[in-house]
Structure 1
Amino acid sequence: MDDITNQGGERFGAAPRTDQLVNRAWREARRGAAPSPEKVAMLIARDLVRQIGTEQVKTGDPLPSEVEMANSYRVGRTSIREALRIMEVQGLLSIKTGPGGGPTVKEPTSADAGRMLSMHLNVRNCTFGELAAARLELDPVLARQAAENRTTESLERLRDIVAMMENIPSNNNAEWARTASMFNAIMAAMSGNGVLALMSSSLRAIYAERIGSIQYTPKIRQNSLVSYRKIIDAISKQDAHLAHNSTHELISRALKQMSRLYPEILQAVVDWR
Protein backbone atom coordinates (compact mmCIF):
# COMPACT_ATOMS: atom_id res chain seq x y z
CA MET A 1 0.00 0.00 0.00
CA ASP A 2 1.24 3.51 -0.76
CA ASP A 3 2.22 5.55 2.27
CA ILE A 4 -0.62 7.95 3.11
CA THR A 5 0.71 10.29 5.75
CA ASN A 6 -0.50 13.25 7.74
CA GLN A 7 1.39 16.52 7.95
CA GLY A 8 3.54 15.13 10.72
CA GLY A 9 4.62 12.20 8.58
CA GLU A 10 2.57 9.61 10.49
CA ARG A 11 1.19 6.87 8.24
CA PHE A 12 -2.54 6.32 8.60
CA GLY A 13 -3.60 2.79 9.47
CA ALA A 14 -0.16 1.68 10.73
CA ALA A 15 2.16 1.95 13.77
CA PRO A 16 1.98 3.11 16.54
CA ARG A 17 -1.44 1.43 16.50
CA THR A 18 0.07 -1.99 15.73
CA ASP A 19 1.03 -2.91 19.30
CA GLN A 20 -2.35 -1.74 20.61
CA LEU A 21 -4.20 -3.90 18.07
CA VAL A 22 -1.97 -6.91 18.66
CA ASN A 23 -2.49 -6.67 22.43
CA ARG A 24 -6.25 -6.55 21.99
CA ALA A 25 -6.19 -9.54 19.64
CA TRP A 26 -4.01 -11.41 22.16
CA ARG A 27 -6.48 -10.74 24.99
CA GLU A 28 -9.43 -11.90 22.89
CA ALA A 29 -7.63 -15.05 21.77
CA ARG A 30 -6.66 -15.99 25.33
CA ARG A 31 -10.21 -15.47 26.58
CA GLY A 32 -11.45 -17.87 23.95
CA ALA A 33 -14.82 -17.84 22.26
CA ALA A 34 -17.00 -19.57 24.83
CA PRO A 35 -20.60 -18.87 23.79
CA SER A 36 -22.92 -17.30 26.32
CA PRO A 37 -26.48 -18.62 26.71
CA GLU A 38 -28.72 -17.04 24.10
CA LYS A 39 -31.87 -15.19 24.96
CA VAL A 40 -35.18 -16.45 23.65
CA ALA A 41 -35.62 -13.13 21.82
CA MET A 42 -32.36 -13.67 19.93
CA LEU A 43 -33.43 -17.14 18.82
CA ILE A 44 -36.72 -15.74 17.55
CA ALA A 45 -34.97 -12.89 15.74
CA ARG A 46 -32.59 -15.38 14.12
CA ASP A 47 -35.51 -17.48 12.89
CA LEU A 48 -37.21 -14.42 11.40
CA VAL A 49 -33.95 -13.37 9.71
CA ARG A 50 -33.68 -16.87 8.24
CA GLN A 51 -37.18 -16.51 6.82
CA ILE A 52 -36.27 -13.16 5.28
CA GLY A 53 -33.02 -14.56 3.86
CA THR A 54 -34.81 -17.46 2.19
CA GLU A 55 -37.55 -15.09 0.95
CA GLN A 56 -40.29 -16.82 2.87
CA VAL A 57 -40.95 -13.27 4.03
CA LYS A 58 -40.12 -10.45 1.60
CA THR A 59 -39.38 -6.75 1.83
CA GLY A 60 -42.58 -4.83 2.45
CA ASP A 61 -44.43 -7.80 3.94
CA PRO A 62 -46.08 -7.24 7.32
CA LEU A 63 -45.21 -9.70 10.05
CA PRO A 64 -47.95 -11.36 12.13
CA SER A 65 -49.17 -9.53 15.20
CA GLU A 66 -47.37 -9.87 18.53
CA VAL A 67 -50.13 -12.12 19.82
CA GLU A 68 -49.92 -14.39 16.78
CA MET A 69 -46.14 -14.68 17.00
CA ALA A 70 -46.25 -15.25 20.75
CA ASN A 71 -48.66 -18.14 20.19
CA SER A 72 -46.61 -19.49 17.28
CA TYR A 73 -43.31 -19.46 19.19
CA ARG A 74 -45.00 -20.31 22.51
CA VAL A 75 -43.36 -17.43 24.35
CA GLY A 76 -44.50 -14.27 26.08
CA ARG A 77 -45.11 -11.05 24.19
CA THR A 78 -42.13 -9.46 25.94
CA SER A 79 -39.77 -11.83 24.13
CA ILE A 80 -41.48 -11.04 20.81
CA ARG A 81 -41.13 -7.30 21.39
CA GLU A 82 -37.44 -7.72 22.23
CA ALA A 83 -36.86 -9.80 19.10
CA LEU A 84 -38.57 -7.19 16.94
CA ARG A 85 -36.56 -4.43 18.57
CA ILE A 86 -33.30 -6.29 17.81
CA MET A 87 -34.30 -6.52 14.16
CA GLU A 88 -35.43 -2.90 14.01
CA VAL A 89 -32.08 -1.67 15.34
CA GLN A 90 -30.31 -3.77 12.69
CA GLY A 91 -32.39 -2.14 9.94
CA LEU A 92 -34.42 -5.26 9.11
CA LEU A 93 -37.81 -3.97 10.24
CA SER A 94 -39.80 -0.78 10.44
CA ILE A 95 -42.35 -0.69 13.24
CA LYS A 96 -45.40 1.53 13.06
CA THR A 97 -47.33 2.15 16.24
CA GLY A 98 -51.05 2.70 16.61
CA PRO A 99 -54.06 1.22 14.81
CA GLY A 100 -53.13 -0.60 11.64
CA GLY A 101 -49.49 -0.53 12.61
CA GLY A 102 -47.03 -3.29 13.39
CA PRO A 103 -43.72 -4.62 12.08
CA THR A 104 -42.97 -4.58 8.36
CA VAL A 105 -39.96 -6.20 6.71
CA LYS A 106 -37.45 -3.60 5.49
CA GLU A 107 -34.54 -4.10 3.12
CA PRO A 108 -31.37 -3.37 5.11
CA THR A 109 -28.87 -0.99 3.59
CA SER A 110 -25.10 -0.71 3.71
CA ALA A 111 -25.65 2.30 5.99
CA ASP A 112 -27.40 -0.02 8.48
CA ALA A 113 -24.42 -2.38 8.41
CA GLY A 114 -22.04 0.57 8.65
CA ARG A 115 -23.86 1.92 11.67
CA MET A 116 -23.32 -1.31 13.58
CA LEU A 117 -19.71 -1.55 12.40
CA SER A 118 -19.03 2.04 13.45
CA MET A 119 -19.91 1.12 17.04
CA HIS A 120 -17.17 -1.52 17.11
CA LEU A 121 -14.71 0.80 15.37
CA ASN A 122 -15.50 3.48 17.95
CA VAL A 123 -14.84 1.12 20.87
CA ARG A 124 -11.50 0.17 19.31
CA ASN A 125 -10.55 3.84 18.74
CA CYS A 126 -10.15 3.26 15.01
CA THR A 127 -9.63 6.45 13.04
CA PHE A 128 -11.02 7.60 9.73
CA GLY A 129 -7.47 7.35 8.45
CA GLU A 130 -7.48 3.63 9.20
CA LEU A 131 -10.89 3.30 7.60
CA ALA A 132 -9.68 5.10 4.48
CA ALA A 133 -6.55 2.93 4.36
CA ALA A 134 -8.78 -0.15 4.46
CA ARG A 135 -10.71 1.17 1.46
CA LEU A 136 -7.43 1.69 -0.37
CA GLU A 137 -6.75 -2.04 0.01
CA LEU A 138 -10.28 -3.32 -0.60
CA ASP A 139 -11.75 -1.27 -3.45
CA PRO A 140 -9.03 -2.06 -6.02
CA VAL A 141 -9.69 -5.77 -5.41
CA LEU A 142 -13.37 -5.19 -6.12
CA ALA A 143 -12.48 -3.31 -9.31
CA ARG A 144 -10.36 -6.23 -10.46
CA GLN A 145 -13.21 -8.66 -9.81
CA ALA A 146 -15.66 -6.30 -11.52
CA ALA A 147 -13.52 -6.44 -14.66
CA GLU A 148 -13.55 -10.22 -14.53
CA ASN A 149 -17.33 -10.48 -13.98
CA ARG A 150 -18.75 -7.45 -15.76
CA THR A 151 -21.95 -7.54 -17.78
CA THR A 152 -23.15 -5.13 -20.46
CA GLU A 153 -25.97 -3.86 -18.24
CA SER A 154 -23.74 -3.17 -15.23
CA LEU A 155 -21.17 -1.43 -17.41
CA GLU A 156 -23.85 0.89 -18.79
CA ARG A 157 -24.85 1.80 -15.25
CA LEU A 158 -21.31 2.96 -14.53
CA ARG A 159 -21.30 5.04 -17.71
CA ASP A 160 -24.67 6.58 -16.78
CA ILE A 161 -23.33 7.55 -13.36
CA VAL A 162 -20.28 9.29 -14.85
CA ALA A 163 -22.58 11.14 -17.26
CA MET A 164 -24.58 12.32 -14.24
CA MET A 165 -21.40 13.49 -12.51
CA GLU A 166 -20.38 15.54 -15.51
CA ASN A 167 -23.54 17.64 -15.14
CA ILE A 168 -23.46 18.26 -11.38
CA PRO A 169 -23.20 22.00 -10.61
CA SER A 170 -19.85 23.04 -9.19
CA ASN A 171 -21.46 24.29 -5.97
CA ASN A 172 -23.31 21.04 -5.24
CA ASN A 173 -20.70 19.09 -3.30
CA ALA A 174 -23.27 16.86 -1.59
CA GLU A 175 -24.62 15.60 -4.91
CA TRP A 176 -21.11 14.99 -6.23
CA ALA A 177 -20.25 12.92 -3.14
CA ARG A 178 -23.53 11.00 -3.34
CA THR A 179 -23.05 10.16 -7.01
CA ALA A 180 -19.42 9.15 -6.48
CA SER A 181 -20.62 6.76 -3.77
CA MET A 182 -23.13 5.38 -6.26
CA PHE A 183 -20.29 4.62 -8.71
CA ASN A 184 -18.34 2.80 -6.00
CA ALA A 185 -21.41 0.83 -4.89
CA ILE A 186 -22.19 -0.40 -8.41
CA MET A 187 -18.57 -1.30 -9.06
CA ALA A 188 -18.42 -3.22 -5.78
CA ALA A 189 -21.62 -5.10 -6.65
CA MET A 190 -20.17 -5.97 -10.06
CA SER A 191 -17.46 -7.97 -8.27
CA GLY A 192 -20.02 -10.70 -7.66
CA ASN A 193 -18.74 -11.13 -4.10
CA GLY A 194 -21.52 -10.12 -1.72
CA VAL A 195 -19.28 -10.18 1.37
CA LEU A 196 -16.60 -7.87 -0.03
CA ALA A 197 -19.22 -5.61 -1.63
CA LEU A 198 -21.01 -5.19 1.71
CA MET A 199 -17.73 -4.52 3.51
CA SER A 200 -16.81 -1.83 0.99
CA SER A 201 -20.26 -0.25 1.01
CA SER A 202 -20.39 -0.23 4.82
CA LEU A 203 -16.99 1.44 5.13
CA ARG A 204 -17.97 3.95 2.46
CA ALA A 205 -21.25 4.72 4.26
CA ILE A 206 -19.38 5.47 7.51
CA TYR A 207 -16.84 7.60 5.68
CA ALA A 208 -19.33 9.50 3.49
CA GLU A 209 -21.53 10.40 6.45
CA ARG A 210 -18.64 12.28 8.08
CA ILE A 211 -17.19 14.18 5.08
CA GLY A 212 -20.25 16.07 3.89
CA SER A 213 -18.50 19.41 4.37
CA ILE A 214 -15.63 18.68 1.99
CA GLN A 215 -15.30 20.97 -1.02
CA TYR A 216 -14.63 19.29 -4.36
CA THR A 217 -12.78 21.80 -6.51
CA PRO A 218 -13.07 21.77 -10.33
CA LYS A 219 -9.57 20.27 -10.53
CA ILE A 220 -10.45 17.47 -8.09
CA ARG A 221 -13.62 16.71 -10.01
CA GLN A 222 -11.87 16.70 -13.37
CA ASN A 223 -9.13 14.38 -12.14
CA SER A 224 -11.74 12.07 -10.63
CA LEU A 225 -13.74 11.94 -13.87
CA VAL A 226 -10.60 11.01 -15.78
CA SER A 227 -10.02 8.17 -13.30
CA TYR A 228 -13.62 6.98 -13.46
CA ARG A 229 -13.48 6.83 -17.26
CA LYS A 230 -10.18 4.95 -17.05
CA ILE A 231 -11.73 2.43 -14.64
CA ILE A 232 -14.76 1.96 -16.90
CA ASP A 233 -12.51 1.44 -19.93
CA ALA A 234 -10.47 -1.17 -18.04
CA ILE A 235 -13.60 -2.99 -16.87
CA SER A 236 -15.04 -2.85 -20.39
CA LYS A 237 -11.90 -4.50 -21.78
CA GLN A 238 -11.87 -6.93 -18.85
CA ASP A 239 -8.38 -5.70 -18.01
CA ALA A 240 -8.39 -6.67 -14.34
CA HIS A 241 -4.86 -5.40 -13.71
CA LEU A 242 -5.60 -1.92 -15.10
CA ALA A 243 -8.94 -1.74 -13.24
CA HIS A 244 -7.14 -2.56 -9.98
CA ASN A 245 -4.37 -0.02 -10.51
CA SER A 246 -6.67 2.75 -11.73
CA THR A 247 -8.90 2.37 -8.67
CA HIS A 248 -5.89 2.35 -6.37
CA GLU A 249 -4.62 5.51 -8.05
CA LEU A 250 -8.01 7.24 -7.62
CA ILE A 251 -8.33 6.45 -3.91
CA SER A 252 -4.67 7.10 -3.16
CA ARG A 253 -4.88 10.54 -4.74
CA ALA A 254 -8.07 11.33 -2.79
CA LEU A 255 -6.43 10.29 0.51
CA LYS A 256 -3.38 12.43 -0.13
CA GLN A 257 -5.65 15.39 -0.82
CA MET A 258 -7.57 14.67 2.38
CA SER A 259 -4.33 14.41 4.34
CA ARG A 260 -3.21 17.79 3.02
CA LEU A 261 -6.51 19.68 3.23
CA TYR A 262 -8.45 17.97 6.05
CA PRO A 263 -5.94 16.13 8.29
CA GLU A 264 -8.23 16.56 11.32
CA ILE A 265 -10.86 14.33 9.69
CA LEU A 266 -8.45 11.46 9.08
CA GLN A 267 -7.04 11.75 12.59
CA ALA A 268 -10.48 11.67 14.23
CA VAL A 269 -11.78 8.48 15.87
CA VAL A 270 -14.75 6.91 14.10
CA ASP A 271 -17.83 7.75 16.14
CA TRP A 272 -20.90 5.55 16.45
CA ARG A 273 -23.98 7.15 14.92
Structure 2
Amino acid sequence: MQRTPPRREKSSFLLAETILNDILEAHLEPGDPLPPEKEMVEKYGMGRTTVREALRLLEYQGAIQIRQGLNGGPYVQAPDSQHFAKTISFMMRMERTPFEAIVEVRSAIEPMICQLAAERISPEALDELERTITGMREIFHDRGQVAAFNDLNTRFHSVIAWSSENPLFHHLADSLHGIMDGAVVGMSYSSRRYLGVIADHQLIYDALRERDPDAAYQKMALHLTEWEVYARRNFADALKRPIP
Protein backbone atom coordinates (compact mmCIF):
# COMPACT_ATOMS: atom_id res chain seq x y z
CA MET A 1 0.00 0.00 0.00
CA GLN A 2 1.36 3.37 -0.99
CA ARG A 3 2.16 5.67 1.91
CA THR A 4 0.70 9.13 2.02
CA PRO A 5 3.59 11.58 2.15
CA PRO A 6 3.70 13.74 5.29
CA ARG A 7 1.98 17.10 4.88
CA ARG A 8 4.43 19.96 4.61
CA GLU A 9 3.79 22.91 6.84
CA LYS A 10 3.06 26.18 5.09
CA SER A 11 5.88 28.68 5.19
CA SER A 12 3.70 31.13 7.11
CA PHE A 13 3.11 28.55 9.88
CA LEU A 14 6.82 27.84 10.19
CA LEU A 15 7.60 31.55 10.23
CA ALA A 16 4.98 32.15 12.93
CA GLU A 17 6.73 29.57 15.11
CA THR A 18 10.10 31.20 14.43
CA ILE A 19 8.82 34.66 15.37
CA LEU A 20 7.26 33.27 18.55
CA ASN A 21 10.55 31.60 19.49
CA ASP A 22 12.37 34.89 18.90
CA ILE A 23 9.89 36.69 21.16
CA LEU A 24 10.52 34.18 23.95
CA GLU A 25 14.30 34.14 23.53
CA ALA A 26 14.43 37.94 23.60
CA HIS A 27 12.29 37.95 26.79
CA LEU A 28 9.90 40.47 25.25
CA GLU A 29 6.96 41.55 27.39
CA PRO A 30 3.37 42.47 26.45
CA GLY A 31 3.41 45.91 24.90
CA ASP A 32 6.92 45.58 23.45
CA PRO A 33 7.12 46.28 19.70
CA LEU A 34 8.33 43.79 17.12
CA PRO A 35 10.41 44.83 14.10
CA PRO A 36 8.49 46.49 11.27
CA GLU A 37 7.23 44.28 8.48
CA LYS A 38 9.98 45.46 6.10
CA GLU A 39 12.69 44.43 8.56
CA MET A 40 11.06 41.02 9.07
CA VAL A 41 11.09 40.40 5.31
CA GLU A 42 14.84 41.01 5.28
CA LYS A 43 15.55 39.20 8.56
CA TYR A 44 13.70 36.00 7.76
CA GLY A 45 14.23 35.96 4.01
CA MET A 46 10.51 35.55 3.37
CA GLY A 47 8.14 37.38 1.07
CA ARG A 48 5.91 40.16 2.34
CA THR A 49 2.78 38.00 1.94
CA THR A 50 4.28 35.16 4.01
CA VAL A 51 5.31 37.59 6.77
CA ARG A 52 1.83 39.10 6.87
CA GLU A 53 0.20 35.66 7.04
CA ALA A 54 2.52 34.65 9.90
CA LEU A 55 1.70 37.81 11.83
CA ARG A 56 -2.03 37.27 11.32
CA LEU A 57 -1.69 33.73 12.66
CA LEU A 58 0.05 35.01 15.78
CA GLU A 59 -2.57 37.72 16.17
CA TYR A 60 -5.39 35.16 15.95
CA GLN A 61 -3.67 33.08 18.63
CA GLY A 62 -3.39 36.14 20.86
CA ALA A 63 0.42 36.27 20.89
CA ILE A 64 0.63 39.68 19.22
CA GLN A 65 -1.52 42.68 18.44
CA ILE A 66 -1.27 44.51 15.12
CA ARG A 67 -1.90 48.19 15.74
CA GLN A 68 -2.90 50.72 13.13
CA GLY A 69 -1.94 54.37 12.80
CA LEU A 70 1.24 56.40 13.22
CA ASN A 71 2.82 54.06 15.75
CA GLY A 72 1.25 50.97 14.25
CA GLY A 73 2.78 47.59 13.71
CA PRO A 74 3.06 44.30 15.58
CA TYR A 75 3.29 44.38 19.38
CA VAL A 76 3.67 41.53 21.83
CA GLN A 77 0.46 40.62 23.65
CA ALA A 78 -0.38 38.20 26.46
CA PRO A 79 -2.91 35.61 25.23
CA ASP A 80 -5.97 35.16 27.42
CA SER A 81 -8.53 32.42 27.91
CA GLN A 82 -10.73 33.75 25.11
CA HIS A 83 -8.18 32.64 22.53
CA PHE A 84 -8.02 29.20 24.11
CA ALA A 85 -11.81 29.02 24.24
CA LYS A 86 -12.06 30.03 20.60
CA THR A 87 -9.81 27.15 19.55
CA ILE A 88 -11.58 24.58 21.72
CA SER A 89 -15.00 25.80 20.60
CA PHE A 90 -14.00 25.61 16.93
CA MET A 91 -12.80 22.00 17.30
CA MET A 92 -15.95 20.94 19.13
CA ARG A 93 -18.21 22.60 16.61
CA MET A 94 -16.44 20.78 13.77
CA GLU A 95 -17.02 17.48 15.60
CA ARG A 96 -20.59 18.43 16.58
CA THR A 97 -19.78 17.81 20.23
CA PRO A 98 -22.86 17.91 22.48
CA PHE A 99 -23.13 20.49 25.22
CA GLU A 100 -23.06 17.78 27.90
CA ALA A 101 -19.44 16.95 27.01
CA ILE A 102 -18.40 20.33 28.41
CA VAL A 103 -20.41 19.60 31.55
CA GLU A 104 -18.57 16.33 32.07
CA VAL A 105 -15.11 17.81 31.62
CA ARG A 106 -15.81 20.75 33.89
CA SER A 107 -17.23 18.47 36.60
CA ALA A 108 -14.06 16.38 36.40
CA ILE A 109 -11.45 19.15 36.67
CA GLU A 110 -12.94 21.98 38.74
CA PRO A 111 -13.04 20.08 42.06
CA MET A 112 -9.32 19.33 41.61
CA ILE A 113 -8.65 22.98 40.82
CA CYS A 114 -10.53 24.01 43.94
CA GLN A 115 -8.53 21.51 45.99
CA LEU A 116 -5.26 23.07 44.82
CA ALA A 117 -6.60 26.57 45.42
CA ALA A 118 -7.32 25.73 49.06
CA GLU A 119 -3.59 25.21 49.56
CA ARG A 120 -2.40 28.20 47.54
CA ILE A 121 -5.05 30.94 47.55
CA SER A 122 -3.95 34.42 48.64
CA PRO A 123 -5.78 36.69 51.12
CA GLU A 124 -6.48 39.09 48.24
CA ALA A 125 -8.14 36.33 46.21
CA LEU A 126 -10.26 35.34 49.22
CA ASP A 127 -11.40 38.96 49.52
CA GLU A 128 -12.31 38.96 45.83
CA LEU A 129 -14.36 35.77 46.23
CA GLU A 130 -16.21 37.28 49.17
CA ARG A 131 -17.03 40.38 47.11
CA THR A 132 -18.53 38.26 44.33
CA ILE A 133 -20.81 36.48 46.84
CA THR A 134 -21.87 39.79 48.39
CA GLY A 135 -22.58 41.19 44.94
CA MET A 136 -24.66 38.18 43.94
CA ARG A 137 -26.77 38.53 47.06
CA GLU A 138 -27.31 42.25 46.43
CA ILE A 139 -28.54 41.83 42.85
CA PHE A 140 -30.48 38.58 43.30
CA HIS A 141 -33.88 40.27 43.65
CA ASP A 142 -33.36 42.38 40.51
CA ARG A 143 -34.04 39.87 37.72
CA GLY A 144 -32.99 42.53 35.23
CA GLN A 145 -29.46 42.00 36.51
CA VAL A 146 -29.16 38.39 35.37
CA ALA A 147 -26.14 39.25 33.22
CA ALA A 148 -24.41 40.91 36.17
CA PHE A 149 -25.17 37.87 38.35
CA ASN A 150 -23.69 35.55 35.74
CA ASP A 151 -20.59 37.76 35.43
CA LEU A 152 -20.02 37.50 39.18
CA ASN A 153 -20.52 33.74 38.98
CA THR A 154 -17.90 33.52 36.25
CA ARG A 155 -15.55 35.74 38.24
CA PHE A 156 -15.90 33.47 41.29
CA HIS A 157 -14.82 30.40 39.34
CA SER A 158 -12.07 32.30 37.53
CA VAL A 159 -10.49 33.54 40.77
CA ILE A 160 -10.42 29.98 42.09
CA ALA A 161 -8.84 28.71 38.88
CA TRP A 162 -6.15 31.43 39.03
CA SER A 163 -5.53 30.56 42.67
CA SER A 164 -4.57 27.01 41.73
CA GLU A 165 -1.37 28.67 40.42
CA ASN A 166 -1.54 26.39 37.40
CA PRO A 167 -1.91 28.50 34.23
CA LEU A 168 -3.24 25.59 32.18
CA PHE A 169 -5.97 24.88 34.71
CA HIS A 170 -6.89 28.56 34.73
CA HIS A 171 -7.18 28.90 30.97
CA LEU A 172 -8.97 25.58 30.58
CA ALA A 173 -11.49 26.31 33.35
CA ASP A 174 -12.13 29.82 32.06
CA SER A 175 -12.61 28.53 28.52
CA LEU A 176 -15.04 25.81 29.56
CA HIS A 177 -17.01 28.19 31.73
CA GLY A 178 -17.32 30.64 28.85
CA ILE A 179 -18.51 27.97 26.44
CA MET A 180 -20.90 26.63 29.08
CA ASP A 181 -22.93 29.82 29.20
CA GLY A 182 -26.40 28.28 29.39
CA ALA A 183 -27.90 31.01 27.26
CA VAL A 184 -26.37 29.54 24.10
CA VAL A 185 -28.60 26.46 24.35
CA GLY A 186 -31.67 28.10 25.78
CA MET A 187 -31.16 27.40 29.47
CA SER A 188 -32.60 29.63 32.17
CA TYR A 189 -32.62 29.38 35.95
CA SER A 190 -35.27 29.61 38.63
CA SER A 191 -35.03 31.87 41.69
CA ARG A 192 -34.46 28.76 43.79
CA ARG A 193 -31.54 27.76 41.58
CA TYR A 194 -29.95 31.22 41.87
CA LEU A 195 -30.23 31.00 45.66
CA GLY A 196 -28.65 27.57 45.48
CA VAL A 197 -25.68 28.98 43.57
CA ILE A 198 -25.15 31.65 46.23
CA ALA A 199 -25.35 29.09 49.03
CA ASP A 200 -22.91 26.75 47.25
CA HIS A 201 -20.45 29.57 46.65
CA GLN A 202 -20.55 30.44 50.34
CA LEU A 203 -19.73 26.85 51.30
CA ILE A 204 -16.88 26.72 48.79
CA TYR A 205 -15.54 30.04 50.05
CA ASP A 206 -15.67 28.83 53.66
CA ALA A 207 -13.62 25.73 52.75
CA LEU A 208 -11.06 27.85 50.92
CA ARG A 209 -10.83 30.32 53.79
CA GLU A 210 -10.20 27.42 56.17
CA ARG A 211 -7.60 26.10 53.69
CA ASP A 212 -9.25 22.68 53.76
CA PRO A 213 -8.40 20.95 50.44
CA ASP A 214 -10.70 17.96 51.00
CA ALA A 215 -13.70 20.13 51.91
CA ALA A 216 -12.98 22.47 48.98
CA TYR A 217 -12.95 19.50 46.59
CA GLN A 218 -16.19 18.11 48.00
CA LYS A 219 -18.07 21.42 48.03
CA MET A 220 -17.11 22.23 44.45
CA ALA A 221 -18.02 18.70 43.32
CA LEU A 222 -21.40 18.99 45.02
CA HIS A 223 -21.99 22.42 43.47
CA LEU A 224 -21.36 21.11 39.97
CA THR A 225 -23.38 17.95 40.57
CA GLU A 226 -26.38 20.02 41.67
CA TRP A 227 -26.08 22.13 38.52
CA GLU A 228 -25.90 19.03 36.33
CA VAL A 229 -28.93 17.44 38.03
CA TYR A 230 -30.91 20.66 37.52
CA ALA A 231 -29.86 20.89 33.87
CA ARG A 232 -30.66 17.25 33.09
CA ARG A 233 -34.04 17.50 34.77
CA ASN A 234 -35.08 20.73 33.07
CA PHE A 235 -33.03 20.94 29.87
CA ALA A 236 -32.19 17.37 28.88
CA ASP A 237 -32.73 18.08 25.19
CA ALA A 238 -30.46 21.13 25.31
CA LEU A 239 -27.61 19.09 26.75
CA LYS A 240 -27.78 16.73 23.76
CA ARG A 241 -27.51 19.51 21.21
CA PRO A 242 -24.21 20.25 19.50
CA ILE A 243 -22.44 23.34 20.77
CA PRO A 244 -23.57 26.19 18.50
Normalising by structure 1, we get a TM-score of 0.79
* Contact 1:41–1:82 (8 Å) recurs in 2: yes
* Contact 2:182–2:188 (8 Å) recurs in 1: no
1:227 corresponds to 2:200:
yes
* Contact 2:185–2:238 (8 Å) recurs in 1: no
Instruction: Find the aligned partners of 1:84 and 1:59 in 2 and give their Cα distance.
Output: 15
Structure 2, unpaired ranges of 5+: none
**Matched length:** 238
1:147 corresponds to 2:146:
no
Aligned residue among 157, 166, 174 for 1:201: 174
* Contact 2:186–2:238 (8 Å) recurs in 1: no
Q: Which residue in the other structure is 2:150 paired with?
A: 177
* Contact 1:110–1:205 (8 Å) recurs in 2: no
1:86 corresponds to 2:57:
yes
Instruction: Find the aligned partners of 1:245 and 1:121 in 2 and give their Cα distance.
Output: 29
Instruction: Find the aligned partners of 1:54 and 1:210 in 2 and give their Cα distance.
Output: 42
Q: Which residue in the other structure is 2:93 paired with?
A: 122
| 1:254 partner amino acid | W
Query: How far 1:128 moved relative to its partner?
Result: 0.8
CA deviation profile, 1:83-132 (whole Å, cap 9, x unmatched):
01111222233334565433333332212111111121122221111111
* Mapping for residues 258-273 of structure 1, pairs under 5 Å: 258-271=231-244
Q: Which residue in the other structure is 2:36 paired with?
A: 65
* Contact 1:173–1:214 (8 Å) recurs in 2: no
- Give the structure with the larger helix fraction: 2
Instruction: Find the aligned partners of 2:185 and 2:131 in 1 and give their Cα distance.
Output: 23
Query: Percent identical across equivalent pairs?
Result: 26
Seen in structure 2, the aligned counterparts of structure 1 residues 137 and 83 have a Cα distance that, compared at 3 Å, is same
Instruction: Find the aligned partners of 1:237 and 1:79 in 2 and give their Cα distance.
Output: 55
Q: Which residue in the other structure is 1:3 paired with?
A: none
Seen in structure 2, the aligned counterparts of structure 1 residues 52 and 153 have a Cα distance that, compared at 3 Å, is farther
The range that moved more, 202-211 or 45-54, is 45-54
| 2:234 partner amino acid | L
Q: CA RMSD in A?
A: 2.3
Structure 1, unpaired ranges of 5+: 1-33
Q: Which residue in the other structure is 1:218 paired with?
A: 191
* Contact 2:158–2:174 (8 Å) recurs in 1: yes
* Contact 2:117–2:208 (8 Å) recurs in 1: yes
